[in-house]
Amino acid sequence: MDKKSLSERDICTKFIAPAISAAGWDIQRQVREEVSFTKGRIIVQGKLHSRGKSRRADFIPYHQPNLPLAVIEAKDNTHTVGDGMQQALDYAEALDVPFVFSSNGDGFLFHDRTGNAALTETELTLAICDQLKASIAAARTNHAQLAESLVAHAVAA
């Protein structure tokens, strides 16, 4: 099978979802696919109005229900690994998530929006999912500590 002939959805199913699962995520309980998160901008012209294009993320892993941790944007294999990064960064800003990934099925380009990492962007091959798992586990811990701190501060106030 020629990877370049596969659709974006095929790349998601055959390469990206298995990599997410191999990294320790429960696809059924912790990851949502094809997530629409906005209905599109309302465009008004005189008395007429319409909606712009809705936005949909390919994958969103969740730390807890309603607490997204990352956006994963997929492209078909005719694109480079990082071709979906700008789109994913836009989605991450709208969803206020700290981590962003772009993939074409050959690997992942990881972007840390927290500003706490030594490298803002890192390219990961599918063979190093263990490193991805460790990065996400650390992010989960940091996210949980932040949430606990915010709750404790709110209770004390």
Per-residue model confidence as pLDDT tens digits over 18-76: 999 988 899 999 999 999 887 777 778 888 877 777 889 999 999 888 899 999 999 99
Q: Which pair of structure tokens corresponds to residue 40?
A: 């599109």
Q: How many distinct structural domains can be found in the chain? A: 1
Q: Which residues contact 31 (CB under 8 A, 6 or more apart)?
A: 17, 20, 25, 59, 60, 61, 62
Q: Which two tokens stand for residue 13?
A: 């199913």
Report percent pLDDT > 70 for the chain. Answer: 94
Q: What is the CATH number of the domain that holds 72?
A: 3.90.1570.30
Instruction: Give strand pairing partners of 56.
Output: 36
- What would the mean pLDDT of 4-19 be, rounded to a whole number? 94
The pTM score is 0.73
Query: What domain range includes position 149?
Result: 3-156
pLDDT band at 131 (very low <50, low <70, confident <90, very high): low
Residue 103 burial (10 A CB sphere; 0-12, 13-18, 19+):
buried
Give the Cα separation of 136 and 112 in Å (integer).
11
